[in-house]
Amino acid sequence: MHRAWARCLFSLTGQKTCPVKTEKDLNYDILKITMIIQGSFPELSRYLEEMPVKMPDPGNMEVTAKNLSDYYDSLDGQQHAYVKEHFSKS
């Protein structure tokens, strides 16, 4: 799940309210994490083109906020798994 959802707020009624990310916000987040991966983990950047992301239905290639959020989550998960595997103390 996108990190924005991890920062959901609770309203006065006790209900959880979450920020809605626009496509522009998600594209910015994707660009930012891609640049971090390329700058900090260049050896990982070669896998960016091979990201395991479910693409939209081939008959309908429309990019949606859900697709972008899923792609961001894949990038984020890949980065965190790499850091955990290569930089965590054994």
Per-residue pLDDT tens digits for 27-80: 999 999 999 999 998 888 877 777 655 555 666 667 788 888 988 998 999 899
Residue 83 has pLDDT above 60, yes or no: yes
Burial 11-25 (b: 16+ CB within 10 A, else e): eeeeeeeeeebeeeb
User: Which tokens belong to 27?
Assistant: 């594209």
pTM of the full predicted structure?
Answer: 0.68
Q: Specify the pLDDT at position 7.
A: 46
Residue with tokens 């083109």, as numbered in its chain:
49
Q: Specify the pLDDT at position 6.
A: 46
**Rounded Cα gap, residues 44 and 39, in angstroms:** 10
